[in-house]
Structure 1
């Protein structure tokens, strides 16, 4: 009889431990990261951010104002301030040296997707030309933080790696 009572207590404790562990697994950060579970939403944010980065980091001497207007629709917060500072530094050189920059996202990975917030790692290829000279290629790696407002992803922060 004592053995049966001891076995019952052990089984109840083991069951409680397993239930606790199962709850831990369900509430783990990885389980909450939709980038790992929602491929459609992950693809959508990756494509939108890749297109936005290509648009705001591509310009021509005569199209810099249009690029800046476009940037206002996709950048906000710290990213918008960073971009404004960047344009202030390069504006005169772009016009004087007739610099054209073409940017393309070659690989975009979503690190974390949680509701309306996303964090991405983006690899860019950029080609810079001065006048009619041959282009110079460069690669860039960015960590991007984005937030969805009214159904549109907006870039909140950009960190160059």
Structure 2
């Protein structure tokens, strides 16, 4: 006859037998995750593991972004180098052109002209040339001293003979007609200054009046009624040279007249 103790043991065995299928199923679920018979809900856990172990196609897919990033990074690294090379070439070309241009300017004879840069010397030349023209091209029959002194002190080189030629015919008649010639510089321009030499373009007004009288009462001579004087403008160029601190005329250019 079963006792309560036997009954309790029987209940325990039945409980153990009832729990055995559950444990087996749980064990099967844990140990067979990769089997085809696994439940669909477990597939997401399997697929990441396969991605980690890596199939060839999946590895190629993973490698493409890295290669793309490497290419873009290399392009970004090369861009500043390319820009620097281009700037170097441009600056080198400009430096070569500037050096060549500077050499041309230094070799150009016109660059030795200081007429526009040395204003003090240019003003000095204009002032002394105007005074020289007034003295050299003015003549008074009653007082020839200033004219003669100007010819001796303000002329040099070819200008001596040129001045004599210009006044040769005038002086022959000046004593007889008692001529007074007055020359005034109205404007001038320094065309070139090269050291102690310069070229000056001169504009001048010139008047010539004869004071020979026709006679009159009381021994007084009167000017000729018909002599109203001659007035004319003149334009010529003078080459001047600096000697002993002053500018004197070396050449008279009347432009073929």
TM bucket by the smaller chain? 0.7 to 0.9
Alignment of 1:1-161 (within 5 A): 7=86, 8-131=88-211, 132=223, 133-161=227-255
Structure-2 change in CA distance of 1:66 and 1:10 (3 Å): closer
For residues 30 and 84 of structure 1, the distance between their equivalents in structure 2, rounded to whole angstroms, comes to 32
Q: Structure 2: any 5+ residue segments left out of the alignment?
A: 1-77, 212-222
CA RMSD after TM alignment: 2.2
1:137 alignment partner, SS class = strand
**TM-score, with structure 1 as normaliser:** 0.88
- Counterpart Cα distance in 1 of 2:177 and 2:135: 21
Query: What is the rounded CA distance, in whole Å, between the counterparts of 1:70 and 1:120 in structure 2?
Result: 18
Of structures 1 and 2, the one scoring higher in RCO (CA 8 A, sep 6+) is 1
Q: In the alignment, is the contact (CA less than 8 A) between 1:75 and 1:155 conserved in 2?
A: yes
User: Partners in 2 of 1:153 and 1:103 — Cα distance?
Assistant: 19
The superposition leaves residues 75-102 of structure 1 with CA deviations (integer Å, 9 ceiling, x where unpaired) of 1111111112334332220000111100
- CA shift, 1:30, in A, is 4.0
Q: Is the 8 A contact 1:35 1:110 kept in 2?
A: yes
- Tell me if structure 2 keeps the 8 A contact 1:143–1:160: yes
Name the one with the larger helix percent. Answer: 2
Q: Deviations over 1:91-142 (max 9, x none)?
A: 2200001111000000010000111000010001001101134322100001
In 2: Cα distance, 1:99 partner to 1:42 partner:
34
- TM-score, normalisation: structure 2: 0.57
Inter-partner Cα distance in structure 1 for 2:168 and 2:233: 22
Post-superposition offset of 1:151: 1.0
Structure number with greater Rg is: 2
- Structure with the larger strand share: 1
Unaligned runs of 5+ in 1: none
Cα deviation 1:43-76 (Å, max 9, x = unaligned): 1101101110111111111223541222210011
